[in-house]
Chain A
Amino acid sequence: NAGVTQTPKFQVLKTGQSMTLQCAQDMNHNSMYWYRQDPGMGLRLIYYSASEGTTDKGEVPNGYNVSRLNKREFSLRLESAAPSQTSVYFCASRGTGADNEQFFGPGTRLTVL
């Protein structure tokens, strides 16, 4: 069991470039999440997907799009990157039981110049 995996681990973009962050989980979880974490700050929810085929906005969705490709995969796309999107991005997943534990991936460190 790999848990939650994210690619790439590091990325440098120029302003205006686009890219997609990939996330996959092998725990058969229904819910998946994308967070961003700025230096010295807590995590802020960007988008989430409660189940395959559904996505909803979180606290800071502007400038991002997501796709829940299948039950395993949840991608985050930056169409036109801006320096304000420099951050560490974490993907997480959660099962449907009473235990609300989220499992986090290792993160993607993104720098936009």
Chain B
Amino acid sequence: LAKTTQPISMDSYEGQEVNITCSHNNIATNDYITWYQQFPSQGPRFIIQGYKTKVTNEVASLFIPADRKSSTLSLPRVSLSDTAVYYCLVGLNYGGSQGNLIFGKGTKLSVKP
């Protein structure tokens, strides 16, 4: 099973760029890397997903090095509303087994004014 390791917490200020790194040393060849955001008392919400190199959408960028043993979620110009827990998920290889879904403990991001 591809377990993940993330920092437990991070602090930032409004307007800064935040980078959260996830380590996944035993990622399988077909595994995707997915990031979710979770607010208190809510279910997680999808942010971004990638397989290799760089992926960008309207809210974040995901950087994945060639060896795929880590990934970095980049949040540009954070605001107070970005205060949440961010989870890195490895698995969900397209067409393959879905039983290897492992959420890490997440990174609690606190954005201060």
Contact = CB atoms under 8 A, between A and B. Distances in A.
Interface of A: 4, 31, 33, 35, 40-45, 48, 50, 56-59, 90, 92, 94, 98-107
A45 B44 CA distance: 13
A19 to B, nearest CB: 20
B43 A90 contact: yes
17 contacts: A33-B98, A35-B103, A42-B103, A44-B103, A45-B99, A45-B101, A45-B102, A48-B98, A48-B99, A56-B98, A58-B101, A90-B43, A99-B49, A102-B92, A103-B46, A105-B43, A107-B41
Nearest to A94: B92
Contact of B102 (A57, A59, A106): A59
Given A48-B98, A104-B43, A104-B45, A41 B34 contact: no
B87 interface: yes
A41 B46 CA distance: 18
Given A42-B103, A57-B99, A58-B99, A100 B45 contact: no
Contacts of B99: 45, 48, 56-58
Contacts of A48: 98-99, 101
Contacts of A92: 43
Contacts of B103: 35, 42-44
